[in-house]
Amino acid sequence: MKTEIDYSVYLVTARGLLPEGKDYLESLEESLQGGVTVVQLREKTTDTGEFIQVAQSTKDICDKYNVPLLINDRIDVALAIDCAGVHVGQSDAPLSIARKLLGDEKVIGVSAGNIEQAINAQNGGADYIGIGAVYGTQTKDVTNKIMGTPGARSILAALDPQSPIKTVVIGGIKSENLLRVLNGVHEKDTKRYLDGVAVVSEIVSSKNPREAASNLSHLIKSFRESEKIKYHSASYDVDSIVQEAWRIINAIPEQHPLIQQMANIVTANDQANATLALGASPVMAAVVGDQKDLNPHIGALLINMGTVSEEQKQAMLVGGRYSNLNKKPLIFDPVALGATSFRKQTGQELLNHWAPTVIKGNAAEIGALSGLTEVATKGVDSVGPGFKNPVTVVKSLANRERCIVVMTGKDDYISDGERTVKISNGHSLLGQITGSGCVTGTAIATCCAVSSMTTEDMNEDGKLSRGDHFMAAIAGVLALEIAAEIASKRDDVRGPNTFRSAWIDEMSKLNEINLKKLSCVTLT
């Protein structure tokens, strides 16, 4: 019978990466003790005789722990030691030949670097596909073949949902980016999730492979457990939503989170002052050197592409990765994303390297991220009336990126992919000042920080950040738009400039009565 394989922690060997003084078989056994569930023996430069000897000793240890062994490329070696099966690349023996030689009782995996290769493997009877390279790797030159999490996700989307084929990703996967990979490589519509991750250097190069494997195993199990739990409120109705929004807003001064902002330099002053008015503390840090030391101390990170430069982009890449690693809410404001090719490429690069907690943008920005052309962009602004079906747009992007999506406009739409609300607050004067959207991102980041700080989560090891950020995003939008409505009625407001000052004043004076009285929230 064909061996049943748990692909969760898939170790690919590489004896050349062993740390000095570490024996290969010793390292292998320790990794199996730590939780490796399947091993692929890869020996690209070893002659046949030595390969068989290494393979047999590897199989003996794998058998001791009841862990299946696969051989990379060499069907003859796999037959010689009678292991569980083989893994073949695109330049190795064709799948049909491998199946003919090995028979139906052996497991065969195939590398897939694009959709066509994956479908061919599926239709050809492969048991699993190795998707990659997701990131750069020490073991292969994949400079021109890196697909990132979006590329891996597109391959999953192309597979037949009824097919029993299993999926593993490979390429630069480590404990520091594992949750990002698991979170980003999925296919919501076909309900396909990864069956495992293939790891090389994280385990092989470790002086403590047992601990390295155990950590990876724990993260995978925690992620899968966290997928069963949603942050849905006990009662999902307008009154409970507004009540929760007030709880978050009211808690800001008490929690006084530090909000890091890689801000639009045009609006940075307003963003900082709005943060203070809401009761939090701003830090405007957008250089690479600040990120590692600063990130553990912040409540949330806001990344705003308004005036992005090459230097700032590098800080955004690093800061976002540290936020995912340290489980800090990460709010992404893709300002004018569709306006230039540089901005489009920058947005894609950022989303390939980290996972946002919330994406906030106007209709043109959300449309550009979604690959839609229904709404045009003019600089930083949307053109026209917006999407005919905005609910579908925000739900689809939220499901694709597995985050909260906030689309601002005359009406604001907020979705986590399942729940969606429309907010019809605000005032026309918001459209007459620079940066009202940027300040909205600030408020959302502040509320997400509070949600993260005040939420108890027993499964936080499997999440990129804790908290009900759907409710936090609603709170942030309501705080600013209701403050705008109140400010617009003040006697001292005579136009956009006086409105700006009054708006920030009113952010500091929000109260529960006004929030409940003025909130215009609709379930969609």
Q: Active-site positions?
A: 438
Contact 47, 74 (CB under 8 A): no
What one-letter code names the amino acid at 112?
A: A
- Using a 10 angstrom Cβ sphere, with 0-12 exposed, 13-18 middle and 19 or more buried, the burial of residue 483 is buried
> CA dist 129 to 9, 89, 98, 124, 142, Å?
15, 10, 14, 11, 18
**Among candidates 173, 118, 165, 121, which has minimal Cα distance to 142?**
173
Tallying the residues shown for the chain, one arrives at 524
Nearest to 347 by CA among 358, 333, 360, 357: 333
Q: Decide: 178 and 197 in contact? Cβ < 8 Å.
A: yes
CB-side neighbour CA atoms (13 Å) of 166: 16
Residue in this structure with the two tokens 């809401």, named with its chain if needed:
278
Do the Cβ atoms of 357 and 350 come closer than 8 Å? Answer: no
- Give me the helices (H) in 142-208, please: 148-158, 175-184, 201-204
- The partner residues of 330 in beta bridges, in order of sequence, read 301
| Of the candidates 389, 377, 305, the residue with the CA atom closest to the CA atom of residue 338 | 377
Comparing C-alpha atoms, which of 38, 62, 165, 51 is closest to residue 110?
165
Stretch (H or E) spanning 453: helix 436-454
C-alpha distances (whole Å) from 516 to each of 240, 478, 503, 504 are 10, 10, 18, 20
Residue 458 to residues 225, 273, 452, 453, 463: CA-CA distances in angstroms? 10, 35, 13, 14, 10
Closest by alpha carbon to 374, among 338, 403, 406, 349? 338
Supply φ then ψ for residue 162, to 5 degrees: -90, -5
DSSP-assigned letters across all residues of 55-114: HHHHHHHHHHTT--EEEES-HHHHHHHT-SEEEE-TTSS-HHHHHHHH-TTSEEEEEESS
Joined tokens for residue 101: 């030689």
Q: Can you tell me the distance from the alpha carbon of 261 to that of 299, in angstroms, rounded to the nearest whole number? A: 11
Inter-residue contact 383 to 336 (CB < 8 Å): no
Lookup: tokens for 453:
């700080």
